[in-house]
């Protein structure tokens, strides 16, 4: 039985201040890799019930329904989700030695690593000005560190901050599980795309069944297709995945089939729960719960790709926030979060891999994202990183880490609010242009998060020619919907308009021209 001890550090403040950077014990270092046999499920009292505590101050109003009930934790056989290629990955002795050295006292003599001598680096120091006018200083020592190789899982000081963030935001049930049984672990990735590609490469064998809800971000289509898996597409509407569609697909199996590899039950569901790219929709909490239960029943993983998590426009309502105590400082003072509950927050079995990204809220060029999930799987990703990217840019990680420590929780929250406000305004401008020019010609749902408006042109079976040829000739660039489907040859009446960059005037002019083209084409 897995017991979940009371999370003592749940409300601990996010680390702030440069002192955190210097403490050697702040390390989420990889422990030595466990033998893969340890990942096989251990016989346990399967009838054991675990009572999950309510979320107290950290809960959203709808959280108690889920968290106050008894749930039996399922035994996870992680070997089912690690293919032969991934299972054969081993730590390189040199990387292990390098990581040991990073923890060694200053007096240690190292003749072991072939890392370049930082005295030869041409960059000596840097001062970076941030939004509020404050600066981040890279003195000579920090610059040497920023330009050197670093840990494959990510810089310890950044990992510590991210771990506290995940605890605050999602309070994953797996936080205190034993490592082999899915304890929450984190690794930094070169953006979430890198992390997700590595996740797919870890799990997928040619011919495997996997579940994806369409329309879907093309980056994932192009990552999955070469792996030769069989994509089972799940239908969605304005509230995200339709659970009945998922149930219908799964009905061809029995729950116990997951134990028999020959039955080829789906290994995972990939989904973008907030501000879906391209549909702009978000999964409701009730649907998430239903989907999580299906994942438990049929034993598949949920890959929660959530780069637009912080860009939620329909946050907790002011009335509910007021009930929680304070309008402005809710998260800080009460722990109540303005963002929707995530799959990670519901993950009592250790079957969710969550991909976060700083691309949309700090900047994409830094290439910093992070994966949170069960340790036996995150370890495999780190091993992949050791031999591919080796680690995300040390400079980028240090810059982000310095920024986050300098900002603390308040600064981070303020940035999330600032960015959301910008995109909300942008969205309102695009919606105004759509209302003005496309009413009667097209239909759309108001996006709940993210950067995209997904528009269906009425009376047109396929908009490929209209968007790709006619609109481009008139200098309006948008993406026709077929890009977001695995079968790109099927006719599609949708297009995606991004509201991240264009000015309100450009949006207005763009949709005016488009309206004219639609009328001419009908």
Ligand X SMILES: Cc1ncc(COP(=O)(O)O)c(C=O)c1O
Q: Does 312 bind ligand X (CB under 6 A)?
A: no
Parallel, antiparallel, or unpaired for β 494-498 and 452-457? antiparallel
Pick from 142, 272, 295, 303: which binds ligand X (CB under 6 A)? Answer: 272
Pick from 152, 180, 193, 402: which binds ligand X (CB under 6 A)? Answer: 193
Q: Total residues at the site for ligand X (CB under 6 A)? A: 13
Pick from 33, 92, 233, 359: which binds ligand X (CB under 6 A)? Answer: 359
Closer residue to ligand X (CB): 180 or 282: 282
CB of 220 to ligand X, least distance (A): 7
Cα–Cα dist 246/244, whole Å? 5
Pick from 305, 349, 409, 508: which binds ligand X (CB under 6 A)? Answer: 305
Distance, CA of 96 to chain centre = 28
Question: Per CB under 6 A, which of residues 157..176 are in contact with ligand X?
Answer: none
CB of 250 to ligand X, least distance (A): 24
CB of 200 to ligand X, least distance (A): 12
Cα–Cα dist 478/188, whole Å? 32
CB of 272 to ligand X, least distance (A): 4
Residue number of the CB closest to ligand X reads: 191
Burial category of 247 from C-beta neighbours within 10 Å (exposed 0-12, middle 13-18, buried 19 and up): middle
Three-state secondary structure along 72-123?
CCCCCCHHHHCCHHHHCCCCCHHHHHHHHHHHCCCCCCCCCCCCCCHHHCCC
Q: Where are the beta strands (DSSP E) in 314-362?
A: 352-357
**Segment interacting with ligand X (CB under 6 A) among 31-39, 186-194, 342-350, 459-467:** 186-194
Pick from 78, 177, 217, 313: which binds ligand X (CB under 6 A)? Answer: 217
Pick from 277, 285, 396, 426: which binds ligand X (CB under 6 A)? Answer: 277
Closer residue to ligand X (CB): 219 or 408: 219
Closer residue to ligand X (CB): 358 or 407: 358
Give percent helix, percent strand, percent coil of the chain, each to the nearest 5.
45, 15, 45
442 pairs with which residues across the strands? 439, 457
**Segment interacting with ligand X (CB under 6 A) among 119-127, 357-365, 410-418, 501-509:** 357-365
What are the distances in angstroms from CA 30 to CA 96, 104, 254, 376, 409?
9, 15, 37, 11, 26
Q: Does 58 bind ligand X (CB under 6 A)?
A: no
Closer residue to ligand X (CB): 192 or 312: 192
Helix (H) or strand (E) holding 136: strand 135-138
457 pairs with which residues across the strands? 442
Give the ranges where 278-367 is alpha helix by DSSP (H). 285-298, 318-324, 330-334
Residue window 99-138: x/- pattern of binding to ligand X, with contact defined by CB under 6 A: ----------------------------------------
Q: Does 201 bind ligand X (CB under 6 A)?
A: no
Backbone torsions φ then ψ of 58, nearest 5 degrees: -85, -5
Cα–Cα dist 397/190, whole Å? 10
Pick from 83, 265, 312, 357: which binds ligand X (CB under 6 A)? Answer: 357
Q: Does 369 bind ligand X (CB under 6 A)?
A: yes
Q: Does 389 bind ligand X (CB under 6 A)?
A: no
Cα–Cα dist 74/76, whole Å? 6
Cis peptide before 278 (omega within 30 of 0): yes
Q: Does 219 bind ligand X (CB under 6 A)?
A: yes
CB 492 within 8 A of CB 453: no
Q: Does 192 bind ligand X (CB under 6 A)?
A: yes
Pick from 154, 172, 173, 191: which binds ligand X (CB under 6 A)? Answer: 191
Q: Does 307 bind ligand X (CB under 6 A)?
A: yes
Residues that bind ligand X (CB under 6 A): 191-193, 217, 219, 272, 277, 305, 307, 357, 359, 364, 369
């Amino acid at each position: 039985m897995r017991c979940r001890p009371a999370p003592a550090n749940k409300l601990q403040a996010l680390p702030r201040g440069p002192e955190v950077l210097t403490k050697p014990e702040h390390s989420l270092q990889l422990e030595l890799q466990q033998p893969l046999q340890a990942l096989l499920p251990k016989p346990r009292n399967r009838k054991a019930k675990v009572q999950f505590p309510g979320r107290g101050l950290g809960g959203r109003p709808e959280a108690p329904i889920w968290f106050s009930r008894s749930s039996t934790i399922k035994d996870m056989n992680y070997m089912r989700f690690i293919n032969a290629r991934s299972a054969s990955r081993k730590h390189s002795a040199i990387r292990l030695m390098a990581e040991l050295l990073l923890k060694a006292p200053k007096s240690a003599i190292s003749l072991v690593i072939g890392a370049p001598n930082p005295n030869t680096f041409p960059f000596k120091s840097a001062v970076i000005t941030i939004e509020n006018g404050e600066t981040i200083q890279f003195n000579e020592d920090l610059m040497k560190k920023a330009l050197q190789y670093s840990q494959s899982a990510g810089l310890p000081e950044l990992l510590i901050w991210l771990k506290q963030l995940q605890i605050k935001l999602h309070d994953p049930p797996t936080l205190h599980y034993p490592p082999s049984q899915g304890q929450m672990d984190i690794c930094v990735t070169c953006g979430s795309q890198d992390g997700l590609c590595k996740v797919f490469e870890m799990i997928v064998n040619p011919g495997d069944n996997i579940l994806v809800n369409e329309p879907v971000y093309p980056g994932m289509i192009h990552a999955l297709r070469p792996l030769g898996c069989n994509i089972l597409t799940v239908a969605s509407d304005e509230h995200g995945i339709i659970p009945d569609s998922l149930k219908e697909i799964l009905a061809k199996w029995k729950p116990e089939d997951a134990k028999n590899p020959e039955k080829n039950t789906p290994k995972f569901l990939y989904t973008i729960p907030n501000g879906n790219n391209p549909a702009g929709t978000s999964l409701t909490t009730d649907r998430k719960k239903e989907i999580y239960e299906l994942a438990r029943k049929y034993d598949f993983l949920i890959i929660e790709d959530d780069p637009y998590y912080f860009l939620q426009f329909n946050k907790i309502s002011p009335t509910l926030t007021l009930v929680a105590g304070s309008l402005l400082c809710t998260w800080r003072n009460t722990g109540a979060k303005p963002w929707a509950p995530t799959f990670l927050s519901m993950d009592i079995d250790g079957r969710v891999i969550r991909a976060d990204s700083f691309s949309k809220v700090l900047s994409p060029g830094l290439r910093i994202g992070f994966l949170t999930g069960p340790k036996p799987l995150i370890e495999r990703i780190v091993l992949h990183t050791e031999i591919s990217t080796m680690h995300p840019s040390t400079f980028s990680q240090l810059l982000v880490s310095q920024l986050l420590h300098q900002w603390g929780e308040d600064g981070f929250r303020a940035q999330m609010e600032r960015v959301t406000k910008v995109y909300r305004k942008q969205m309102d401008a695009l919606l105004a242009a759509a209302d003005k020019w496309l009413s009667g010609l097209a239909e759309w749902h108001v996006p709940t998060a993210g950067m995209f408006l997904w528009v269906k042109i009425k009376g047109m079976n396929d908009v490929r020619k209209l968007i790709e040829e006619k609109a481009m000739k008139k200098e309006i660039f948008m993406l026709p919907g077929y890009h977001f489907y695995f079968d790109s040859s099927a006719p599609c009446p949708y297009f995606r308009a991004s509201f991240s960059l264009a000015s309100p005037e450009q949006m207005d002019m763009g949709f005016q021209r488009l309206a004219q083209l639609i009328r001419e084409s009908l």
